[in-house]
Amino acid sequence: MRVALKLAYIGTEFHGSQIQPNVETVEGELFKALRNLGIIESPKSANYICAGRTDAGVHALGQVFAFDTDKMNLAIPRVINSELPSGIWVWAHAEVPLSFDARRDAISRHYRYVMSGREYDISKIREASKFLLGTHDFENFSRTNGEKSTVRTIERIDARIDGELIKIDVVGNSFLWNMVRKIVTALSMIGNGVRDTDWLLQMLNPDIYEEGIEPAPAYGLTLLKVNYNEKIEWIEDSYSIRRASEQNQKRILRHRVMAEVLEELISHE
């Protein structure tokens, strides 16, 4: 049988999602849990496939991965979570066809970037984002990783103010390495008046214009959802969702306290 799982993780606690030697990664922890539980012998023998990798520091809510197993009774969120660190949790599962490919069968991916909104003109960001919609060559918005083509399609970009923050949602068929974070950098530069839309149009024409820009910090980016054409009957695990919520409330409290401590440290009082 083949099972697909939805995975969430706090990216700042790991060196990216893809397994690497000698560092803690999301896949490294996941493979260890699956082997310890006897769900798979190895990723290769189980035909393990992930919807896509995320860089160090990037978070996920709806990462999807799939593998073959004869232990369907164990391949459920609350069992797998018992072997995972608190910064990673599975919250839904589904039985899928043996041919299901979590990466190639995905039709779009939805990312959200959260950043401070104090210094940016949201109307300029929204206007500039319109030029990024559709199919373009995003070579100037990527970090070269041997891709055969740097042409990608952006379906939707929404930017909105939420309190003192700006949230930018980006939906596309697939993304190049660092692409979303560099899009955010470009929109930020336009939003604070450093660059304009003429420059953005030049950036979308790498054959005649080339410029490297730094990606926005990884901690602001989350992979929210991976979308598929075929209907997948996801079964959500309420216990796993509730347990993760409790753990994250503790993290939220800690960060709020730390924010107050840092404010006091710079107050000079």
- pLDDT tens digits for 189-204? 999 999 999 999 999 9
Are both 113 and 167 inside the same structural domain? yes
Are both 196 and 152 inside the same structural domain? yes
Last residue of a domain, one of 223, 239, 264: 223
263 inside domain? no
Are both 74 and 121 inside the same structural domain? no
- The residue range of the domain holding 234 is 2-104+230-256
Find the mean pLDDT for residues 63-80. 95
Check whether 229 has a pLDDT greater than 90.
no
Q: What's the pLDDT at 107?
A: 95
> Is 55 a known active-site residue?
yes
Cβ atoms within 10 Å of 257's Cβ, excluding its own: 10
Q: What's the pLDDT at 82?
A: 95
Q: What's the pLDDT at 13?
A: 86
The enclosing domain of 181 has a CATH number of: 3.30.70.660
Grouping H, G, I as helix, E, B as strand and the rest as coil, residue 229 is: coil
Q: What's the pLDDT at 62?
A: 95
Q: From CA 54, how far away is CA 178, in angstroms rounded?
A: 9
204 inside domain? yes
Grouping H, G, I as helix, E, B as strand and the rest as coil, residue 5 is: strand
Q: How does pLDDT run across 143-167, given as a tens digit for each residue?
A: 766 568 899 999 999 999 999 999 9
140 inside domain? yes
Is residue 112 within 8 A of residue 168, CB to CB? The reply is yes
Are both 93 and 185 inside the same structural domain? no
267 inside domain? no
Q: What's the pLDDT at 89?
A: 96
Are both 50 and 134 inside the same structural domain? no
Check whether 237 has a pLDDT greater than 90.
yes
Largest CA distance in the chain: 64
268 inside domain? no
Q: What's the pLDDT at 146?
A: 59
Q: From CA 22, how far away is CA 2, in angstroms rounded?
A: 30
Are both 212 and 120 inside the same structural domain? yes
Q: Name which residue leads in pLDDT, 41 or 114.
A: 114
20 inside domain? yes
The enclosing domain of 46 has a CATH number of: 3.30.70.580
Are both 10 and 73 inside the same structural domain? yes
Are both 49 and 144 inside the same structural domain? no
DSSP codes, 41-98? S-TTTTT-EES----TT-EEEEEEEEEE-S-TTT-SHHHHHTTS-TTEEEEEEEEE-T
Q: Say which residues have a Cβ less than 8 Å from residue 244's Cβ, sequence separation at least 6.
A: 8, 89, 91
Are both 118 and 140 inside the same structural domain? yes
Among 55, 70, 169, 198, which one carries the catalytic annotation? 55
190 inside domain? yes
Q: What's the pLDDT at 125?
A: 96
User: Band of the pLDDT at 21, cuts 50, 70, 90?
Assistant: confident
Q: What's the pLDDT at 33?
A: 95
Check whether 129 has a pLDDT greater than 70.
yes
Residue 6: beta bridge partners? 64, 92
The count of structural domains within the chain is 2
Residue-averaged pLDDT of the chain: 93
End-to-end CA distance of the chain: 64
219 labelled binding-site residue: no
Check whether 269 has a pLDDT greater than 70.
no
Are both 212 and 245 inside the same structural domain? no
